């Protein structure tokens, strides 16, 4: 599928050969073609790629910015805010499934082309953890702020304290779970909906973001890979950018997103790099057959790739040809 996409360089051809999603991104093709004639120093090949089906809507948000010659950093923040806003999403934002004590606790990280980065973890009652992460990056000398400190920081910087309340859907799921309280972070797709996003703008700059409510029914205080720079997401503007979704503990063990970027630095394509990182994860995690992990990456040339442990991982890719959902290749056949 990914190879087939590479042929679709021209908007006109793509329009007739390819079944676009009916997303707004497709309708922005024209805008981006105009921007293709920008003066020197501009690369008219913006691209955004993000995890799971909800990535389509998130990409729409990001593409509005990229196609108007906006910065990748703004695109990856605004893009995943769409997912954070969606209260029906059970693994991102305040609609997420709670920990085993009934608390929704949120993790997020962001990184830009200058290597600046910020994150929040174990954050409660704030709608847009990704924007708090960006504020950590831009307004503090720190990279990661957690828990009540992160909430205090958010409130001091104009974020609202949202009610402590599960959505009806999350509450029902939680009550069902409480009947057995059986905790196994398995590959159940409902427990794996984190949004990770990486993008390149028309200036050729890369940025990434990642935001999640983490694993459902986790121990209170548990933090996953998503807010940890280099694990859930990483950007090196000279090389590429990568992000991860799935059981964070397995990704943390191999510094997954950093590994993907380093493999691209060694010359591997984005897909090969994601595949090699999954192979490393398999080697370091004896429980690999029981969990799901997916990596996404783009390189400085604007090429993309993905690879997952198990069947079922999909990702959305938006560029000047449209916004499309792809199934990732995977390791466990
Ligand atoms: C975590 N990586 O907290 C996140 C969960 C996830 O798709 O990606 N779900 O471990």
Distance CA 103, CA 113 (A): 34
- Confidence at residue 36, expressed as pLDDT on a 0 to 100 scale: 42
| pLDDT tens track for 213-253 | 999 999 999 999 999 999 999 999 999 999 999 999 999 99
Whether residue 10 is predicted with pLDDT greater than 50 in this model: the reply is no
Hey, what long-range contacts does 280-288 have (CB within 8 A, 24 or more apart)? 280/254, 281/250, 281/251, 281/253, 281/254, 281/256, 281/309, 282/309, 282/331, 284/250, 284/253, 284/254, 285/250, 285/253, 287/250, 288/250, 288/332
Angle between helices 256-265 and 270-284 (to 10 degrees): 130
| pLDDT tens track for 111-170 | 999 999 999 999 999 999 999 999 999 999 999 999 999 999 999 999 999 999 999 999
CB-defined site of ligand 1, < 6 Å: 91, 192-194, 212, 214-215, 224-226, 245-248
Q: Which residues are catalytic?
A: 194
- Confidence at residue 182, expressed as pLDDT on a 0 to 100 scale: 76
Mean pLDDT of the chain: 88
Tell me, what DSSP letter sits at residue 138?
Answer: H
Distance CA 240, CA 198 (A): 9
Distance CA 216, CA 315 (A): 21
Distance between Cα 128 and ligand 1 center (Å): 17
Distance CA 52, CA 3 (A): 19
Mutate which of 92, 195, 248 for ligand 1 pocket (most atoms within 8 A of beta carbon): 248
- Confidence at residue 181, expressed as pLDDT on a 0 to 100 scale: 82
Q: How far is CA 311 from the centre of its chain?
A: 19
Distance between Cα 7 and ligand 1 center (Å): 33
Q: Helix, strand, coil shares of the chain as percentages rounded to 5?
A: 35, 20, 40
- Confidence at residue 41, expressed as pLDDT on a 0 to 100 scale: 53
Whether residue 201 is predicted with pLDDT greater than 60 in this model: the reply is yes
Distance CA 74, CA 311 (A): 32
Q: Which two tokens stand for residue 226?
A: 């998503």
CB–CB of 239/299 below 8 Å? yes
What CATH number belongs to 45-327?
Answer: 3.60.20.30
CB–CB of 132/126 below 8 Å? yes
Distance CA 194, CA 8 (A): 29
The pLDDT of 268-291, averaged and rounded, is 96
| pLDDT tens track for 28-72 | 444 444 344 444 455 558 999 999 999 999 999 999 999 999 999
Q: Parallel, antiparallel, or unpaired for β 144-146 and 304-308?
A: unpaired
Cβ contacts of 108 within 8 Å, gap of 6 or more: 80, 119, 120, 123, 129, 130, 132, 133, 209, 210, 211, 212, 226, 227
CB–CB of 186/291 below 8 Å? yes
Distance CA 127, CA 177 (A): 25
What is the number of other CB atoms lying within 10 angstroms of the CB of residue 101? 12
Question: What are the residue boundaries of the structural domains of the chain, listed by start?
Answer: 45-327
Distance CA 234, CA 242 (A): 5
| pLDDT tens track for 71-100 | 999 999 999 999 999 999 999 999 999 999
Distance between Cα 245 and ligand 1 center (Å): 5
Name the residue at shortest CA distance from atom 3 of ligand 1.
214
- Confidence at residue 193, expressed as pLDDT on a 0 to 100 scale: 77
Distance between Cα 232 and ligand 1 center (Å): 8
Mutate which of 95, 231, 245 for ligand 1 pocket (most atoms within 8 A of beta carbon): 245
pTM of the model: 0.88
Name the residue at shortest CA distance from atom 10 of ligand 1.
248
């Amino acid at each position: 599928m990914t190879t087939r996409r590479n042929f679709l360089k021209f908007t006109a051809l793509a329009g007739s050969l390819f079944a676009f999603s009916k997303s707004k991104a497709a309708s922005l093709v024209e805008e981006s073609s105009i921007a293709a004639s920008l003066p020197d120093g501009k690369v008219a090949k913006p691209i955004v790629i993000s995890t799971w089906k909800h990535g389509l809507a998130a990409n729409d948000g990001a593409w509005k910015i990229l196609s108007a010659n906006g910065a990748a950093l703004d695109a990856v923040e605004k893009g995943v805010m769409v997912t954070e806003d969606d209260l029906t999403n059970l693994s991102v934002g305040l609609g997420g499934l709670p920990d085993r004590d009934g608390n929704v606790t949120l993790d997020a990280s962001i990184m830009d082309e200058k290597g600046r980065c910020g994150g929040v973890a174990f954050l409660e009652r704030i709608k847009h953890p990704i924007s708090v992460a960006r504020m950590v990056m831009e307004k503090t000398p720190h990279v990661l702020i957690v828990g009540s400190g992160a909430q205090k920081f958010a409130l001091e910087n104009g974020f609202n304290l949202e009610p402590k309340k599960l959505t009806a859907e999350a509450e029902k799921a939680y009550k069902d779970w409480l009947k057995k309280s059986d905790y196994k972070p398995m590959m159940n797709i409902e427990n794996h909906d984190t949004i990770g996003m990486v993008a390149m703008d028309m200036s050729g700059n890369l940025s990434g973001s990642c935001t999640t409510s983490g694993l459902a029914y986790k121990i209170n205080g548990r933090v996953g890979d998503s807010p940890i720079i280099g694990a859930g997401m990483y950007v090196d503007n000279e090389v590429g950018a990568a992000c991860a979704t799935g059981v964070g503990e397995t990704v943390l063990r191999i510094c997954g997103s950093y590994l993907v970027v380093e493999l691209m630095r060694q010359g591997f394509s984005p897909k090969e790099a994601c595949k090699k990182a999954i192979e490393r994860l398999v080697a370091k995690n004896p429980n690999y057959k029981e969990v799901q992990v997916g990596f996404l990456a783009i390189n400085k040339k604007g090429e993309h790739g993905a690879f997952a442990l198990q069947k079922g991982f999909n990702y959305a890719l938006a560029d000047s040809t449209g916004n499309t959902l792809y199934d990732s290749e995977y390791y466990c056949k």
